[in-house]
Amino acid sequence: MVTHADVYAERDAALLMLAEKQKSRSRRITVGTDKAYYTKDYVSAVRELNVTPHVSKNDKSVFHK
């Protein structure tokens, strides 16, 4: 997926791709990501899509926005 470069583009694109992947499924799927995705907004949005996130913890900050 091609997006405009900004701070949130990669996470936004990931959410769009997960929504597309999940829309025809009834069962929960999982996704693994690196510590750049360790934010409250991203984790909440992924869970709302019925996707289980496996995100590497960012030890430098606790759930930043």
Q: What does the pLDDT read at residue 52?
A: 96
* pLDDT tens for each residue of 9-60: 999 999 999 999 999 888 999 999 999 898 999 999 999 999 999 998 888 7
Measure CA 47 to chain center. Answer: 9
Both structure tokens of 21 = 């992947």
* Residue 45 placed within a domain: yes
Segments forming the whole domain that contains residue 41: 30-65
* Residue 53 placed within a domain: yes
What is 1-42 written as a DSSP string? Answer: -----STTHHHHHHHHHHHHHHTT-SS-EEEEE-GGG-BHHH
Q: Regarding predicted confidence, which is higher, 30 or 3? A: 30
Q: How many domains does the chain have?
A: 1
Residue located via tokens 């019925």: 50
34-37 long-range contacts, CB within 8 A, separation 24+: 36/10, 36/11, 37/11
